[in-house]
Structure 1
Amino acid sequence: MRMYVVDAFAEKVFEGNPAAVCVMEKWISDSLMQKITSENNLSETAFTVKTGSYYELRWFTPGGEIDLCGHATLATAYVLANFYATEDASFVFETKSGELRVERRGEIFELNFPSRMPSQIELTEQMINALGVKPLSVYLDRDLMFVLGNEEAVKGLSPDFSKLKALPDGLGVIVTAAAEHNAYHFVSRAFFPKIAVNEDPVCGSAHTQLIPYWAKQLGEDKMVARQLSARGGTLHCRFEGERVAMGGTAVLYATSDIQVNS
């Protein structure tokens, strides 16, 4: 089976968020996909099969299958555009989160996902102890989202991952603040210890919550976001009401043939 490793939301290798992509003619077992993902030891591995005019797409982490992954979707579109469907400018994926579209605009791949406006909830001492700081406010949709006072607080955060994992709400934990750099509108980091990913370097799915929140806070529909992980990554964001768009570039890191029996 041919596998690709792509750095998504990156302008050069070793930036952005790496994802493995397996393009298959037919589906293999869930257990084998999980074993491949665990062997890769990346935050996500994407598996895709072409069905008519669209592609079925699933995402696995070392801790199990998830229902949405932005950077691995971008990585999959990059692989298809460069190695399988080089004349196509758009790709439609059927996923556990419904239909997802990716448009190729020059070197930019733009993802279009359902919007998730988070609801404000009560801040608890357990949350404060897990983060190590007291946030301004906390919101919840798929993930817990903490708003911090400034960009430096986001960048310097050193949470207790075991305590984050023990939080009863949310799959992941997002921290965010308004940007202090003129090139960006807001910054963030994303943590997923519940699925064996302590920090996701650049998390597209987290931005399905971040984009509607910051669009409302800033009164902006078009924004540029920066994720402040060690690798870092930039996302060009657009709020469209019930949908959000996020775009970025991608770079091929490696190709390989993995020796597995379906």
Structure 2
Amino acid sequence: MLVPFYQVDAFASRRFSGNPAAVMLLEHFADDETLQAIAAENNLAETAFLVPDGEDFRLRWFTPTVEVPLCGHATLASAAVVMERLAPHRQRVVFHSASGPLSVERTATGYIMNFPARVSRPVEPPPLLAEALRQSPVEVVADAFNYLALLETADQVRSLTPDLAAVAGLDRSGLIVTAPGDSGYDFISRYFAPAKGIPEDPVTGGAHCALTPYWAERLEKTAFRAFQASRRGGELGCCLIGERVELEGSCVFYLEGTATI
């Protein structure tokens, strides 16, 4: 079976920046083992599988090792595939996922995604966290998915070289590290998830579902310009609206073709 295949740089305005995602259009979902094998073969942070569902689509995301309940950059890439390749006239698409319905709307420069907010609570730093960071954070909070560690400066976030084995040993699947922003950004961050097969994710929508309400409380505002300071790097517009988060970004197509499954 030949399957349409797209590789898209998400949260990017030029190729080779942002976060690359594979998007594959299926008539129906294959069994989980096959989907996982495909994602491992693609060997990107996430592969998104799309199945038409009336005017909407069903959407699942896999890293090279596990299925995940939410992925921002692969959702953004999927929206670009739908609204730039499958139906260029469309201005909006809804994806039905493990995290509920996710709507994405076209803007003049990209797309706005509407996701559930992830509210974090203060916690005692787990013993492995300081070892993972090789320094003591100012504050540590957590939600059901990730730890979030606050450092004092953007330079500390940019220069961080964490112990990934210690990160993988945490009792959350990922670690967000953040600090007040520089260069005109409200905050910057990085995201590490070796337990999910992603040593460092270049630009992470799901992490910003937690970062947006976190910084809304600290900065007492609801709209932000954020930067994820990975090697590739990526810029996001973030806005907290009640219990939802809007994330804005653009995409660049890198590869289009078919895969044999």
Same fold per TM (> 0.5)? Answer: yes
Residues of 2 paired with 1:226 and 1:109: CA distance? 17
Query: Are the aligned partners of 2:141 and 2:149 in contact in 1 as well (CA < 8 Å)?
Result: yes
- Of 26, 45, 70, which residue of structure 1 is paired with 2:72? 70
**Partner of residue 105, structure 1:** 107
Q: Does 1:143 align with 2:146?
A: yes
Q: Which amino acid aligns with 1:232?
A: G
Q: Does 1:165 align with 2:168?
A: yes
Residues of 2 paired with 1:19 and 1:126: CA distance? 30
Residues of 1 paired with 2:80 and 2:11: CA distance? 11
Residues of 2 paired with 1:6 and 1:126: CA distance? 35
Q: Report matched runs for 1:243-262 at 5 Å.
A: 243-260=244-261
How far apart are residue 218 of structure 1 and its match?
0.7
**Partner of residue 212, structure 2:** 211
Residues of 1 paired with 2:182 and 2:30: CA distance? 47
Q: Determine helix, strand or coil for the equivalent of 1:191.
A: strand
Query: Are the aligned partners of 2:128 and 2:167 in contact in 1 as well (CA < 8 Å)?
Result: no
Residues of 1 paired with 2:169 and 2:237: CA distance? 33
**Partner of residue 154, structure 1:** 157
Q: Does 1:186 align with 2:187?
A: yes
Q: Deviations over 1:97-150 (max 9, x none)?
A: 111111111231111100111001002332101111110010101211000011
> How many residues of Structure 1 are paired with residues of Structure 2 in the alignment?
258
Task: Identify the range of structure 1 (120-129 vs 150-159) with the bigger mean alpha-carbon deviation.
Answer: 120-129
Residues of 2 paired with 1:221 and 1:129: CA distance? 33
Q: Which amino acid aligns with 1:212?
A: P
Q: Determine helix, strand or coil for the equivalent of 2:104.
A: strand
Q: Report matched runs for 1:220-235 at 5 Å.
A: 220-235=221-236
Q: Determine helix, strand or coil for the equivalent of 1:220.
A: coil
Query: Are the aligned partners of 2:5 and 2:23 in contact in 1 as well (CA < 8 Å)?
Result: yes
**Partner of residue 200, structure 1:** 201
**Partner of residue 35, structure 1:** 37
Task: Provide TM-score, normalisation by structure 1.
Answer: 0.97
Q: Which amino acid aligns with 2:211?
A: L
Q: Determine helix, strand or coil for the equivalent of 2:30.
A: coil
How far apart are residue 56 of structure 1 and its match?
0.3
Q: Determine helix, strand or coil for the equivalent of 1:82.
A: helix
How far apart are residue 95 of structure 1 and its match?
0.4
Residues of 1 paired with 2:4 and 2:115: CA distance? 27
RMSD between superposed Cα atoms in Å:
0.9
Residues of 2 paired with 1:124 and 1:102: CA distance? 36
In structure 2, runs of 5+ residues without a counterpart are: none
Q: Deviations over 1:172-208 (max 9, x none)?
A: 1000001122x21000000010011000000000000
- Of 60, 63, 79, which residue of structure 2 is paired with 1:61? 63
Q: Deviations over 1:24-59 (max 9, x none)?
A: 222222111111110111010000111112110000
In structure 1, runs of 5+ residues without a counterpart are: none
Residues of 2 paired with 1:112 and 1:79: CA distance? 17
How far apart are residue 256 of structure 1 and its match?
2.0
